[in-house]
Amino acid sequence: MGLCKPHMNMVYNKISSFLSYFTQAKAFVSTIILAKVDRIILGDVMKKIIIALSFLMFIVSYSTFSFQVNAKEPDNDMVRYALIRSLSPSIDKALTEIYKDATEGIPSWAGWDTEIVNIKQLYGIGGAYDVKVRVHPYYGPHIGYGIDEITVRVDASGQQLIEYKHIQDV
């Protein structure tokens, strides 16, 4: 008993579509298997890459942190010494006037041994300021003259010597 030609074509189409489906399924399964293999292989590689990147990020963040030490706000001592040093022309002028008759000559002074007594704000924020400092002048190898108080006005035009007086002899 044989199949007629229309039935033969139908069977052939069914077998062909089955084989096509089977081939696609086989390709899909092989893709999944390859993906699993790649994931396993890449998993180890990815772990190593992630560990290396984490280590690198740790080192970079540590070195960045070490550079930010200078980026913090200045401490009070630094600001105080900067202010005192900025007043040095007026302090030198006052010491020249106070000790103009001294036999040892004009004394030296040190910023670290100078105190800010007070700062008076005259015209609101950004206006003029009167800064009073207490200086311990010396001559030679730090032989003290005494203690002097000097007031300097600081404004937009610069600084001017307002008042100076010798407070105490040593």
The residue with greater pLDDT, 154 or 51, is 154
What are the pLDDT digits (tens) for 37-67?
556 666 677 677 777 777 666 666 655 444 4
Which percentage of the chain shows pLDDT scores above 90?
Answer: 38
Torsion of CA 50, 53, 59, 60, to 10 degrees: -140
Mean pLDDT, residues 138-156: 90
Which residues lie closer than 8 Å to 84 by C-beta, 6 or more apart?
A: 91, 111, 114, 116, 133
Domain boundaries along the sequence of the chain: 5-69, 76-169
pLDDT in tens, 67-95: 445 556 667 888 899 999 999 999 999 99
Architecture per CATH, 76-169:
Roll (3.10)
Q: 159: helix, coil or strand? A: strand
Are the beta carbons of 148 and 167 closer than 8 angstroms?
A: yes
